[in-house]
Amino acid sequence: MITQPVYFDHNATTPLSNEALLAMNQVYQFPYNTSSVHQFGSKANQLVNEARKNLQNLLNAHNYEVIFTSGSTESTNTVFNGIEGISDILFSVIEHSSVFNCRPHNKNIIEITSDKQGIINILDLQEKLPKHSNFLVSAMLANNETGAIQPIAEIAKIVHQKSGLIHCDIVQAVGKIKVDLEQLNVDFASVSAHKFRGPQGIGALLVRKGIDIKPLILGSKQEKGKRAGSLNVAGIVGFSVACMQAQENLTEFAKIGNLITKLQQGLKNICGDNLYILSQEVAKIPNTLFFAVANQNSQTAVIHCDLHNIYLSSGSACSSGSVNQSRILKALSAEEKFLQGGLRIGLGLGNTEQEIDYFLNVYQQFYQLQQKLCH
């Protein structure tokens, strides 16, 4: 029997780990400000520097400077606005909105297509690269909707051969697969703590040592003048604990792939030919399944699941009461009948086989009802 809410939306945000919460509660007992010269100030600096090391260890990022930010959105905005001399920014159509909608007015924006499996089209990128070297390419490591893992090391090689710079949104990969910045060879990376059991409102920008970047937020001289404002010490400590736990849990996280296989099979049994699973033929992060069902209204499906205490996401945004077609489904050239029927499941460490069975049961009821109404 399922008595607890079934949370299948870990790509949106994850529950804070007990250990991170405990560590944060301890920090909140003291007036820690890293700018203070007294003992509370030195303790704050010690905690923040430990966190920097934990993040560098998790990402093999010892040659990168860590700038703490409010999250990946701010990190990306800092990169797009803070590199001197960049005239062109290229990014793919499958990027998260924090990249896709970050279009500084003084820059030329170039969109790169994706193939039908949701992988960035490298040939298109090569054709669209500017003739000069004053450009930045931004490419995500794992897509937030499909989970598809992108060929970042290959893209970085192409970008560097043309003497450009590369930024990588690593948000959905951290804590789910091993992320090694040295091996990816990117110049900048953006990360958010709440996607891997850290707190919301804290993240980081990693900048390869030796590259200069201007601050987005101006004021005092925190973070070596790269990001003004008092540091969120408790948030940083929670982030730090989440980094250590992510490192320890990677093997366990990979096992979530078995639940996804079960889920996928169950959905095939229910929907048959009406089912379209995105990025089915490429490597993905282990916890993600994005599927669309012909002529389904995904918002109705989400509400049906919600009424049964199952929380998941639709692949299409609802605005002013009307359902928009999903940008990602369009980018992957999905057939018209699938465009409003996308559902995203993002599993986490606590999810169980029983929960998958329960979901399949609830979804089957919904599917069969919809079929009756249509015919």
129 versus 171: smaller Cβ distance to ligand PLP: 171
Question: Minimum CB separation from ligand PLP for residue 211, in Å?
Answer: 21
Question: Minimum CB separation from ligand PLP for residue 63, in Å?
Answer: 23
Task: Return the ∠ at Cα 263 (arms to 261 and 264), rounded to 5°.
Answer: 65
17 versus 172: smaller Cβ distance to ligand PLP: 172
CA separation for the pair 48, 34 (Å, rounded)? 8
- The single-letter DSSP state of residue 310 is E
**Residue 140 found at the interface with ligand PLP (CB under 6 A):** yes
Active site residue 102: no
Total of chain residues touching ligand PLP, rule CB under 6 A: 12
> Which three-class secondary structure state does DSSP give residue 345?
strand
> Which three-class secondary structure state does DSSP give residue 77?
helix
**Residue 144 found at the interface with ligand PLP (CB under 6 A):** yes
Sheet holding 275-277, edge to edge: 275-277, 288-293, 342-346, 313-314
Give, as ranges, the residues between 63 and 92 that touch ligand PLP (CB under 6 A). Answer: 71-73
Contacts of 225 (CB under 8 A, 6+ apart): 215
SS3 breakdown of the chain: % helix, strand, coil, rounded to 5?
Answer: 40, 20, 40
Question: Minimum CB separation from ligand PLP for residue 247, in Å?
Answer: 20
| x-marked contacts with ligand PLP along 165-184 as a string, rule CB under 6 A | ----x-xx------------
**Residue 145 found at the interface with ligand PLP (CB under 6 A):** no
User: Which amino acid belongs to residue 295?
Assistant: N
12 versus 323: smaller Cβ distance to ligand PLP: 12
CA separation for the pair 25, 22 (Å, rounded)? 5
Q: Which of 98, 138, 146, 288 binds ligand PLP (CB under 6 A)?
A: 98
Q: Which residues are catalytic?
A: 318
Which residues contact ligand PLP (rule: CB under 6 A)?
71-73, 96, 98, 140, 144, 169, 171-172, 192, 203
